[in-house]
Amino acid sequence: MLFTRKITINQFINLKPVTPHMQEELEPIERFKFACYLGINCFNECCQNLNLALTPYDVLRMSRALELITTEFLERYTSHHIGIATGLPVVVLKMLPDGRCPFVTENGCSIYADRPTPCRLYPLARVRAGDEVQYYLLREDFCMGHMEGKEWSVVEWVEDQEAEDYNEMNDLFFELISAKNRSGRNLTDGELERIYRACFDVDWFKKETGIDGDLEALKEGIRFSIDLISHV
Ligand code: SF4
Ligand code: SF4
């Protein structure tokens, strides 16, 4: 169902590296065994104590699932900081005081159709480096899904989890990270605040620009941020 505790290979942002014995690189057609379902012994084990970085598209989908404007979603459910590796804003989902994800219920994820990228791809993690995309199979002791018999290729899993839109939108966000790397400069606090709002706070950006559509605003917010970084 979800991603990993205290380990995050979000698509581009390694908050903590995954230790080698827990990950295995997979080619797109390589197969792995996995199943996750209500009633499995480890059900919901994975939805706690997470360090879960959200992409702009994750924020948009989750806020729409909760019928919140992105500004309110960000305030209520996330914290943000500047990533050490990227020098760009990183948005992290806040866990409840007892360590659970705020969206986990006894029947599973209450925003399942709009769950964020790491939860959606789990037990796979997608890592983009330059033009290359790699998938890794994550094996964590608590997750019993690996003992189930159902087989998948990477391609089949991505399709089954309806992750294509996420990959496409997250790749756009990756362009921003690439632009930042290319620029080689440190951003001012004002620039970082504008990039944070333009990329993650779609409703704020829509109000600022008059753009109507969510996806259009999200794409434009990322493009605006790339321009801001690229044109000094
Ligand atoms: S968003 Fe859903 S799937 Fe992800 S950790 Fe929370 S409850 Fe689990
Ligand atoms: S099988 Fe793995 S992903 Fe599914 S509920 Fe159990 S721990 Fe979570």
Which of 5, 22, 43 has most ligand 2 atoms within 8 Å of CB, for mutation?
Answer: 43
Give this prediction's pTM: 0.91
Alpha-carbon dihedral angle through residues 14, 15, 16, 21, given to the nearest 10 degrees = -40
Cβ neighbours of residue 163 closer than 8 Å, sequence gap 6 or more: 117, 120, 121
- Report the pLDDT value the prediction gives residue 225, as an integer from 0 to 100: 97
Q: DSSP strand E in 103-206: where?
A: 104-105, 108-109, 124-129, 132-138, 151-153
86 touches 225 (CB < 8 A): no
- Report the pLDDT value the prediction gives residue 103, as an integer from 0 to 100: 98
Give the whole-number percent of the chain exceeding pLDDT 90: 83
The arithmetic mean of pLDDT across residues 131-146, rounded, is 94
Look at residue 126 and give its three-state secondary structure: strand
List, chain by chain if needed, residues with CB within 6 Å of any ligand 2 atom: 1-2, 36, 40, 42-46, 122, 142-145
The rounded Å distance from CA 56 to ligand 2 centre is 25
Neighbours of 164 (CB within 10 A): 10
